[in-house]
Structure 1
Amino acid sequence: MTEIHTPRLLLRRWNDDDLVPMADVNADSQVMRWIDDGSVRDLEYTAEEIERWEEEWDEEGFGLFAVELLASGEVAGFAGLSVPEFLPEVLPDVAISWRLGSQFWGQGYASEAAHATLEFALQDRGLERVIAINRMGNDASENIIRKLGMVQERETAHPVYGYPLHIHSIDLTEFQG
């Protein structure tokens, strides 16, 4: 299954029409302040990202979904699963993540997409455990992580940028689908 329907969202694989809306998300400084060094990303970088995400689908059987609003057909951003290679200390764990445009914040879309993704990971893909990596201070993401039933395991530092990260986890025995 590479499509998930929720009451308000469609989580699906990427297509060519998704590049510009995702580039708009990546160009939003409010969104990107929590990602890597906080810099915005351009259309070319976004195209490379989407290509990597699609490769991960082919290699791992999971990846980052495009998040589409059912009511309007707009692409709000992404939610999904990835191997967090930037943080070798957590491997071989699989991480859940999301990134939505700021105009879509505060409406429950990220929580809805994250919950559906977690259910997909544990029930459809058979993963026994999923982690979330959150930059300390990103309270909105921290709230979503708590809503998923994930618990903080430890703190670490980003290996390149040095800022503190929280590592959360959940396993199949703890998940309430």
Structure 2
Amino acid sequence: MPLYNTPSGPLKFPDAKSLYPSSPRVPLGQAIAIGLSAGILGALVMTGTNKLEQLLTSRPSSYVPGRTMATHLGLSSFYAKHPDILNHLHHFGMGMLGGVVRAGMSYVGVIGPVASFLHLGVRVAMDQFVEMTAGTSDWPWTWPINEQVIDLGHKGVYALVVGYLCDRLVRGVDWFNWD
């Protein structure tokens, strides 16, 4: 329930935005499927914003995701011939896994833009874990500032798209009350 500060003191009362269903609208298995689907769509939107940003900034593509997959799966020769395929497999695979995490958050009632902000941290941590264990990246705070902004910006778009879809489809919450 929101807390409103009034001249006579704090006041708590429910409003339309704070009244959300106390239980999910779907069973857990369906929530997982929603998370996988939302993760794919989020990764697609993230990839699209990435390509648009590259068009505007002339920044070259990063092949860290593809190298990470090649290292973990022992696909060095495949990576040498098809780096873009492994890059996309990484983006969409991690997007799907992250989507399941966000659907789980919605399922247990951790919802809204703040939950998506927390999910952004989870998504960055997921990438960092696989990249660090493959030896293909370094800690994000050691990256150039512009690369930090770019990575967080694109993953932030992913987190918002996935979060909105999961909250809407799993919990039945519309962040904007457009109904």
TM-score with structure 2 setting the length: 0.27
| Structure of higher CA gyration radius | 2
Q: Which structure is higher in RCO with an 8 Å CA cutoff and minimum separation 6?
A: 2
Higher share in strand: 1
The TM-score, its normalising length taken from structure 1, stands at 0.28
